[in-house]
A and B are shown apart, each in its own frame.
Chain A
Amino acid sequence: MIPTAVLIIGGGPVGLTLALCLSQQGIASIIVNERTGTTTHPKLDVVNCRSMEIYRQLGLAERIRDAGNPRDANQFSAFAASASGPFYTVMADRHWIYQPVTAANAAIRSCNDGSLPLETMQRIAQMHLEPVLLEAARADRNVDVRFGQRLFGFEQDAAGVSALVHDVATGDPLQIRADYMVGCDGPNSRVRNFLNIDYDGTRDLLGELFIIHVRSDDIAALFPNREPYWHTWLARPGFSGLLVSPDAGRNDYVIHRPYAPRGDETLDGIVAAAIGTKVRYEIVQSSGWRPQFLVAGSYGRGRVWMAGDSVHQYMPTGGLGMNTGIAEAHNLAWKLAARLHGWGGDRLVASYGEERLPIARRNRDHVKTNAAAVFESQFPKTDALLDDTPAGAANRAEMAAVFEAKVSRLYECMGIEIGYRYVGSRVVVADADPAPRYESLTYLPTTWAGARLPSGFRDDGTAVFDLLDARGFTLLVCGDDRSADIDALQRVAAKVGLPLRTVCLTEPHLARIYERKYILVRPDQHVAWRGDALPSDPHALLDTVRGA
């Protein structure tokens, strides 16, 4: 029997990220993955801002950017009759999120009011993201990656989890004993099935959609500077769909249609309709798929937990599937580590599900509204749309206006990406103030307890996030403070084994962003407590935030 601290079932982006987060906390893990390699399908096409902040904390942000869309290439979203036009509109300048990484990150660094994330998004296909994560995991001494092995069954007891794993090729069994097990094993999660946890929604609300992965060296020439837009949404009489270029530096494209081909339709016919002109291409793969809006009834129990698609399935309208899972891995890793290191209390790991389940439901509602917005953007379409007449021009203008008004919410949603708060969490000290206003599309920076800490920069350009302790808590002190209360807090932290770093911030603009003199920040960059004076009972404060 092989012992490990954490057994991770599933070696996709969420499982690999969890292993890397655990390793950052000094925790060893074994990843068991049924497939023998990383995916060959483009699949997801964005690592969002929050996930890029997390990858920055892991030291992987630049490696992911190296593997994805070139830093100076666009992240535009357009609406057109076909890839060869006419284009009704291109969303390029209306929000910074569409800007190339270099320009967007420059804008972020010049903004110092806490309203922007620390990192902009990265346009990248899953098939190019996974190898970066896998390489990092394989190079990490704390991570034992075992591809080609499948979970057969498990039992949990008060002290840990005993799992039986089979080699997919040979059938050879392997027993693993872990302190904790985490299922990151996708929509058909065996872990979730073994736990007998079901989804709370209804399946198949939209039926079967269809996807075609093509490779072409010619399609790029249809776009300015041979730089395909990230998303080109397609609408004209008799046709609708989406052409995705996950990476402007590569020749992979994905064509989405809202239904499978009919009897007389061919894949080549669909490609021709989407591209709108004759180009050379190769169809790599195609398949039907069923979008879902499902969230599991719970995230696990005892010593077995889940993250990613095993606990939620979303239509990718807004790119929140994997990205929600990355934030889940980030939330769970430090809690497991705290328990394993001995300073985390009994309630800490269970707080993972309590904090993340409401966020998963909120994200599900958001992508559902996004999906509706995409369909609604097609509604103004008339038979005159492409006519060279005043009626045609008016219809095209209406389509453009409706598209920008509705579909922009898929991209311009900083409230969803970085504005989530762990309201009512048992490991967050309830804020004395009522919850500040929340908007899904606009991020309103706040240090209200439970919120992600707003990102700011010191006068020397250092990001405050880079000063936070990834393996412990950080007490941000706005102003120069050497009070005895901080020493008392440090002594209590040392007594219970909780790593606590103190960072003094003297910049007035940071004091404005952070709203209070003291902010206690968790390893996952969320505010655990804030106040203008340290509490008289530091034991009670630290016991709450460590779940004791």
Chain B
Amino acid sequence: MPDFLDNLKLRGLLRITATLLKRAETRSSRFRQMLGEDAFVLQIATEAGTGGHFILANGGIRYQGGVHPAPDFAQIWRRAGDAVRVMTSPDEAELMRAFNDGLCRMQGRFTVALWFNEAMKIARTKGSDCP
């Protein structure tokens, strides 16, 4: 039962993240600039396949549930609950802690993770403070 709830939370969190990113597109000039800086598929999912992926292409970002066959960067979590905890933590270093503790594996280009970190920081910024 806790796993089921955590899986639901992870799916919900990823969808909310997608909404925040869309909102940032209208509010932040820096974010709009970032949309044209790269093209990739970033995936956040559990080993069991719960999760989704973000696709940055043609100057826009969109989200799709489910597993992508060849993401450019992937976080693979043992448990959805750890993914939710780390993604909602204000401490950016939590991801590396989780990696060192064996709670998640990573594959691919880490510059994609850095892009996503920056995008999320902008997306979470209050409207008037948006860069």
Seen from chain A, the residues whose Cβ lies within 8 Å of a Cβ on chain B are 201-209, 237-240, 258-260, 262, 293, 368-369, 371-373, 375-376, 378-379, 383
Binary interface encoding of chain B residues 36-58 relative to chain A, with 1 for a CB under 8 A from any of its CBs, else 0: 00000000000000000000000
Taking a contact as CB atoms under 8 Å apart, the answer to whether A240 and B100 are in contact is yes
Q: Which of B92, B93, B108 lies at the interface centre, i.e. has the most chain A CB atoms within 10 A of its CB?
A: B93
Q: Given known contacts A205-B114, A208-B91, A238-B102, is B109 in contact with A259 (CB within 8 Å)?
A: no
Closest to A406 in B: B110
Q: Given known contacts A202-B122, A204-B92, A205-B121, is B111 in contact with A378 (CB within 8 Å)?
A: no
Is B107 positioned at the interface, with any CB of A under 8 Å from its CB?
Answer: yes
Taking a contact as CB atoms under 8 Å apart, the answer to whether B107 and A207 are in contact is no
A379 to B97, CA, bound (A): 13
Q: Which of A260, A372, A373 lies at the interface centre, i.e. has the most chain B CB atoms within 10 A of its CB?
A: A372
Taking a contact as CB atoms under 8 Å apart, the answer to whether B107 and A202 are in contact is no
Binary interface encoding of chain B residues 81-102 relative to chain A, with 1 for a CB under 8 A from any of its CBs, else 0: 0000000000111101101111
Interface of A is mostly: loop
Taking a contact as CB atoms under 8 Å apart, the answer to whether B110 and A207 are in contact is no
Taking a contact as CB atoms under 8 Å apart, the answer to whether A205 and B117 are in contact is yes
A371 to B112, CA, bound (A): 12
- Some 26 contacts from A to B, beta carbons below 8 A apart, are A202-B118, A202-B122, A203-B121, A204-B92, A205-B117, A206-B92, A206-B114, A207-B91, A207-B92, A207-B94, A208-B92, A238-B101, A238-B102, A239-B100, A259-B93, A259-B94, A368-B111, A368-B114, A371-B110, A375-B106, A375-B110, A375-B113, A376-B106, A376-B110, A379-B105, A379-B106
Known contacts A202-B131, A206-B114; 13 additional CB pairs below 8 A are: A205-B92, A205-B114, A206-B117, A207-B91, A238-B102, A239-B100, A293-B114, A368-B111, A375-B113, A376-B106, A376-B108, A376-B109, A379-B107
Taking a contact as CB atoms under 8 Å apart, the answer to whether B91 and A202 are in contact is no
Taking a contact as CB atoms under 8 Å apart, the answer to whether B109 and A372 are in contact is yes
The 7 A-B pairs at the shortest CB distance, nearest first, are namely A207-B92, A207-B93, A372-B110, A259-B93, A258-B96, A372-B111, A375-B110
Taking a contact as CB atoms under 8 Å apart, the answer to whether B122 and A259 are in contact is no
Is B62 positioned at the interface, with any CB of A under 8 Å from its CB?
Answer: no
Taking a contact as CB atoms under 8 Å apart, the answer to whether B114 and A371 are in contact is yes
A293 to B93, CA, bound (A): 16
Taking a contact as CB atoms under 8 Å apart, the answer to whether B93 and A208 are in contact is yes
A259 to B101, CA, bound (A): 12
Q: Given known contacts A202-B121, A372-B110, is B93 in contact with A378 (CB within 8 Å)?
A: no
A237 to B101, CA, bound (A): 8
Measured CB to CB, the closest approach of chain B to A406, in angstroms, equals: 10
Q: Which of B30, B92, B100 lies at the interface centre, i.e. has the most chain A CB atoms within 10 A of its CB?
A: B100
Measured CB to CB, the closest approach of chain A to B108, in angstroms, equals: 8
A369 to B117, CA, bound (A): 14
Q: Which of B97, B111, B113 lies at the interface centre, i.e. has the most chain A CB atoms within 10 A of its CB?
A: B111
Measured CB to CB, the closest approach of chain A to B116, in angstroms, equals: 10
The size bracket of the interface on B is 20 to 34
A259 to B122, CA, bound (A): 22
Measured CB to CB, the closest approach of chain B to A330, in angstroms, equals: 30
Residues on the A chain within 8 Å of B101, using CB: 238
Closest to A262 in B: B97
Closest to A379 in B: B106
Taking a contact as CB atoms under 8 Å apart, the answer to whether B121 and A204 are in contact is yes
Q: Which of A204, A207, A293 lies at the interface centre, i.e. has the most chain B CB atoms within 10 A of its CB?
A: A207
Residues on the B chain within 8 Å of A369, using CB: 111
Closest to A290 in B: B92
A293 to B118, CA, bound (A): 11
Of B93, B106, B108, B121, the residue contacting A258 (CB under 8 A) is B93
A204 to B114, CA, bound (A): 10
A10 to B4, CA, bound (A): 57
A368 to B114, CA, bound (A): 8
Measured CB to CB, the closest approach of chain A to B80, in angstroms, equals: 21
Measured CB to CB, the closest approach of chain A to B105, in angstroms, equals: 7
Taking a contact as CB atoms under 8 Å apart, the answer to whether B91 and A238 are in contact is no
Residues on the B chain within 8 Å of A378, using CB: 99
Residues on the B chain within 8 Å of A260, using CB: 93
Measured CB to CB, the closest approach of chain A to B111, in angstroms, equals: 4
Measured CB to CB, the closest approach of chain A to B27, in angstroms, equals: 14
A259 to B107, CA, bound (A): 20
Closest to A199 in B: B131
Residues on the B chain within 8 Å of A259, using CB: 93-94, 96-97
Q: Given known contacts A371-B114, A372-B111, A378-B99, is B122 in contact with A206 (CB within 8 Å)?
A: no
Residues on the A chain within 8 Å of B110, using CB: 371-373, 375-376
A260 to B93, CA, bound (A): 8
Closest to B115 in A: A205
Measured CB to CB, the closest approach of chain A to B103, in angstroms, equals: 11
Q: Given known contacts A368-B111, A371-B114, A372-B114, is B93 in contact with A206 (CB within 8 Å)?
A: yes
Measured CB to CB, the closest approach of chain A to B49, in angstroms, equals: 20
Residues on the B chain within 8 Å of A379, using CB: 105-107
A368 to B117, CA, bound (A): 13
A203 to B110, CA, bound (A): 17
Of A209, A238, A376, the residue contacting B93 (CB under 8 A) is A209
Residues on the A chain within 8 Å of B94, using CB: 207, 259
Residues on the A chain within 8 Å of B97, using CB: 259, 262
Measured CB to CB, the closest approach of chain A to B93, in angstroms, equals: 3
Measured CB to CB, the closest approach of chain A to B40, in angstroms, equals: 12
Measured CB to CB, the closest approach of chain B to A391, in angstroms, equals: 16
Residues on the A chain within 8 Å of B109, using CB: 372, 376
A202 to B118, CA, bound (A): 6
